[in-house]
Structure 1
Amino acid sequence: MDKYQLIEKLIREGYIRRKEVAEAMLKVPREEFVPEELRPYAYEDRPLPIGRGQTISAPHMVAYMIEAAGVKRGDKVLEIGTGSGYNAAVLAEIVGPEGKVYTIERIRELAEKAKERLEKLGYGNRVKVFVGDGSKGLPQFAPFDKIIVTAAAKEIPMELVEQLKPGGVMVIPVEDWGGQVLLRVIKGKDGKVIVERLLPVMFVPLLSGTEE
């Protein structure tokens, strides 16, 4: 499958609903974000290992989470779990030069590789990569329009909810009855929080602390 067939499939299956999401995913070269030996599988709709027990999410999940959060041009977005940097690159394409993407990775080696890759591909001015504990977010850069978490938390981290702007949205997988469920957390203009259950998922766990 090539990238065009993949995007057509995701549109057909309803994961991609907006033109800007399709265009962003067509523009970002996913093969640059996977290990050399896995490049032939870059446009298959499945997660792939990127080392250190981490994965690059399946393209349908990347699209689904971005659509669920409603990321748009000009947004200031916080991503928890940089991984390979692929998701941050797609987000950068959507938010455009008026927006900004802040992304946190707890494993220093992955963060450094992702930063290097993003800079090489021209996203360095739009994406800032940090090494840190994602569950704490980046309060010094808050508030954010959107927060996307790519690791499963035991419960919704209130520190992240606090870093959402009124009217902001967070999409996060959370442990649930022995499995995981993807939640959409909407912070109303009045600060009231609404939580919507979206679908069952499977992500690596959201861990505290950092690793070299």
Structure 2
Amino acid sequence: MADVDPVAAAFAAHPREGFLPEKVRSRAAYDGPLDIGHGQTNSQPRTVEAMLRLLDVRPGDRVLDVGAGSGWTTALLAHLTGPGGRVVGLELEPDLVVFGSGNLARTDQPWASLEQATPGRLGDPDRAPYDRILVSAEARTTPRALVDQLADGGRMVVPVAGELLLVVREGEQVVETGHGGYRFVPLR
């Protein structure tokens, strides 16, 4: 029996279409970003796949999803952690919190939530540390506030100044590696 690819299984379990506004659902198969309103997009599937593979989420992980938008990445992450894990999605735009939370609720993954982010506060330091952090918005520099929320051995995938970075924390040592050019909405 062939090994099941966990990322492919997550995509199959949570099709993009269920996380898009009705007016763009017919374009769900398009491999590009789609507008979800409020100046935000649902990311290109190929980009999301690349980010999830770099993040290397394991069953039971505690995961923070920064810029959760429509809830799609939060649902994918929850599928990867399984019920032994915990996924917290954060979104700044109140209307998208409502939209994304509704989408996520339909996935029947109660170990995942999508919540209102606190303006001016990056991440969720009160519930840190996290094993994995996914950031779906572009930072100008590596966000130290999020690095500080990583557990020992934790991994963060974040677009910084046009490049997708993998940030790995081993004790006090932080190693960053670049993984190609990408464009995202700005991290606020």
TM-score, structure 1 normalization: 0.83
**How far apart, in 2, do the equivalents of 1:163 and 1:102 lie?**
13
The equivalent residue for 2:182 is 201
1:15-34 mapped onto 2 (5 Å cutoff): 19-34=5-20
**How far apart, in 1, do the equivalents of 2:157 and 2:174 lie?**
13
Runs (4 or more) in structure 1 with deviation over 3 Å come to none
The equivalent residue for 2:24 is 38
Q: Quick one: which amino acid aligns to residue 199 of structure 1?
A: G
> Per-residue displacement from partner, 1:38-79 (whole Å, max 9, x unpaired)?
222112211111011110001111110010011121111001
The equivalent residue for 2:150 is 164
- The 8 Å contact of residues 173 and 201 in structure 1, kept in 2 or not, is answered as yes
**How far apart, in 1, do the equivalents of 2:120 and 2:66 lie?**
5
The equivalent residue for 2:137 is 151
- The 8 Å contact of residues 151 and 205 in structure 1, kept in 2 or not, is answered as yes
**How far apart, in 1, do the equivalents of 2:120 and 2:184 lie?**
15
1:59-78 mapped onto 2 (5 Å cutoff): 59-78=45-64
1:109 and 2:95 correspond:
yes
**How far apart, in 2, do the equivalents of 1:128 and 1:32 lie?**
16
Partner-residue secondary structure (3-state), 1:24: helix
Q: Which has the higher helix share?
A: 1
Percent identity over the alignment is: 39
1:70-89 mapped onto 2 (5 Å cutoff): 70-89=56-75
Q: Quick one: which amino acid aligns to residue 184 of structure 1?
A: L
Pairing partner for 1:129 from 108, 114, 129: 114
Unaligned residue ranges in structure 2 (runs of 5+): none
The equivalent residue for 2:163 is 181
Partner-residue secondary structure (3-state), 1:25: helix
- The 8 Å contact of residues 104 and 134 in structure 1, kept in 2 or not, is answered as no
- The 8 Å contact of residues 74 and 114 in structure 2, kept in 1 or not, is answered as no
Deviation of residue 37 (structure 1)? 2.3
Taking only aligned residues, the RMSD between alpha carbons, in angstroms, comes to: 1.5
Tell me: CA distance 1:135–1:171, structure 2 relative to 1, closer, same or farther (3 Å). Answer: farther
Tell me: CA distance 1:134–1:66, structure 2 relative to 1, closer, same or farther (3 Å). Answer: farther
**How far apart, in 1, do the equivalents of 2:69 and 2:5 lie?**
25
